Amino acid sequence: MNLVNVFDAEPGMILARDVKNKEGRRLMDVGTLLEEKQLKILKMWGILEVHVMSEDANNGHRATGSFTEICPQQTMTETNGVASVFHTNAHTPIDSSNPLDEFLENWFSNNNDNDPVLLEIRKLTHEWFDAQPAIFNALVSRCENPPPPEVHDEKLKMPTVDPRSLLNDEIKLPALPQIYFEIQTAVDDPRFSGREIAEIVSKDTALAATLLKIVNSAYYGLRQEVSSLSQAAVTLGSQQICNLALGVTVINYFKDLPGCAPNMDAFWRHSLGCAIMAANLATHIPTADRDRVFIGGLLHDIGRLVFLSYFPKAGTAALNQSHVQGCGLIEAEPKFFTVDHAQFGRLLSEAWHFPRQVSRMIGNHHNKFTTLPETETAVVYFANWLTSALGIGFSGDAVLPSLNIYAWKALGISPAALTPVLKQTDRQLTEAIRFFYG
């Protein structure tokens, strides 16, 4: 019996032990023949290592060649999500006028060059950008092309906006669909069964269809197709179905908001990248709930989305200000808003009765922690920072902020865990974009 890294496993190997996730749920039985489908499922669930039978016990039944040789090479552009960084060899060279090393020197300038964690992240970032020049060049373009000075000066004359007016009777945000609150109430009541919760979700046929599509997608990698929401509630848990319903409901809600928020494709790619990154980090952290941090990551920038949708001039002005002054968006916003987008996002999530843990994640994803934060808050904070560092979508920051040491320590993981996390995120993002926004 041998213990092998999932990313080194080869089709043809046979499991020598059952494979379970961190909650103890059995994913695959001993004796399962690993083919490409099974290997993909293991990676989707964040499994790092598996016990496989030795060659003698396996009767020599093993595929030849490495896993990277078995997988076909892939080339993707940013419009298709994130390229398959870790097993793509063929790609166009990075623009020589913007050398990668020189850019990373500036990009990480707010972070300690001597910190071993930052050194490891910078190395991974170098590999990430080197393999996908489209994302690299898009990030360089955003960072090195600030708005014209005259536009910036005009925006500075704008009066300060109080977005909290949206939460009172002056300007009323439309309410979230009643179906979400019915689901949340049922989940919080121990008298409700998974079947009854599924019946509530089924009242909204579009929501029900979307949830079934998500549950049966490669993202979850279930061994058998789920044909009903009742079965989904039993398989994944009622709270997980509720979390997915919240994510889908909020995304659909914002599709119809007024205003003309710029580059929404990049905004949602960053948000979904953060969500998947957070979920994959959680597989290495026993005290973090994978699905809750997924929702926290997905909705962390909800305040910024409202700013751009309801106050597009002030929102764009803050974005321009951050570019001109070379500061983070969170530092530029107080010149135009009475609260920043993280603070407002928390107020909005509380007004909409999101779970308290999700509201805390939203409100603290830019926090300058001076003590160890709670684990799930740290997960979303770090996932947001790392997603920005990798240029996945666009968060609005023209500079990479410094990584808060307390947030990193709260994760309790080694930098070595980041490689499988990035591999997982890389593989899942395109699929997730399709089923959430397709």
In whole angstroms, what is the distance from residue 299 CA to residue 304 CA? 10
Mean pLDDT (whole number) for 367-394: 96
Among 42, 36, 40, 33, which residue's Cα sits nearest to residue 61? 33
Same domain, 163 and 61: no
Position 339 in a domain: yes
Residue 23: predicted pLDDT:
62
Among 10, 35, 69, identify where a domain stops: 69
Point out the domain boundary residue: 17, 37, 69. Answer: 69
Number of domain units in the chain: 2
Tell me the C-alpha to C-alpha distance, in Å, between residue 108 and each of 391, 395, 398: 13, 16, 12
Does one domain contain both 410 and 306?
yes
3-state SS string over 272-299?
HHHHHHHHHHHCCCCCCCHHHHHHHHHC
Q: Which helix (H) or strand (E) holds 160?
A: none
> Which residue would you say has higher pLDDT here, 101 or 430?
101
* 425 inside domain: yes
Give the pLDDT confidence score for residue 339 in this predicted structure. 96
For residues 365 and 278, what is the distance between their CA atoms, to the nearest angstrom? Answer: 12
Q: What is the 3-state secondary structure (H, E, C) of 349-381?
A: HHHCCCCHHHHHHHHCCCCCCCCCCCHHHHHHH
Q: What's the angle, vertex CA 423, arms to CA 285 and CA 292, rounded to 5?
A: 40
Q: According to the model, what pLDDT value does residue 337 have?
A: 96
Beta carbons within 8 Å of 121's beta carbon, 6+ residues apart: 386, 389, 403, 415, 418
Does residue 347 sit within a domain?
yes
Higher pLDDT, 76 or 328: 328
Q: What is the pLDDT of residues 124-180, one digit of tens each?
A: 999 999 888 888 988 888 877 665 554 445 445 678 899 998 887 555 666 667 777
Determine the Cα–Cα distance for residues 67 and 75; give it in Å rounded to an integer.
Answer: 17
Domain span holding position 37: 2-69
Least confident of 110-114, 272-276, 363-367: 110-114
Asked if residue 167 belongs to a domain, the reply is: yes
pLDDT tens digits for range 90-130: 344 544 445 788 889 889 999 987 888 899 999 999 999 98
Domain termination site, one of 17, 44, 69: 69
More confident residue, 336 or 59: 336
What digits encode the pLDDT tens for the residues 323-350? Answer: 888 888 999 999 999 999 999 999 999 9
Kindly state whether residue 185 falls inside one of the protein's structural domains: no
- pLDDT given at position 171: 56
pLDDT, residue 85, reads 37
* pLDDT on residue 431: 72
Q: Between these two residues, 379 and 64, which has the higher pLDDT value?
A: 379
pLDDT at 374: 97
User: Residue 125 pairs with which residues in a beta bridge?
Assistant: none
* H/E segment holding residue 411: helix 405-411
Are 165 and 296 members of one domain? Answer: yes
Q: What is the mean pLDDT of the chain?
A: 79
290 plus 409 within the same structural domain: yes
Residue 317 inside a domain? The answer is yes
The 10s digit of each residue's pLDDT in 181-232 is 787 788 778 887 777 878 888 888 888 888 888 888 766 777 788 888 888 8
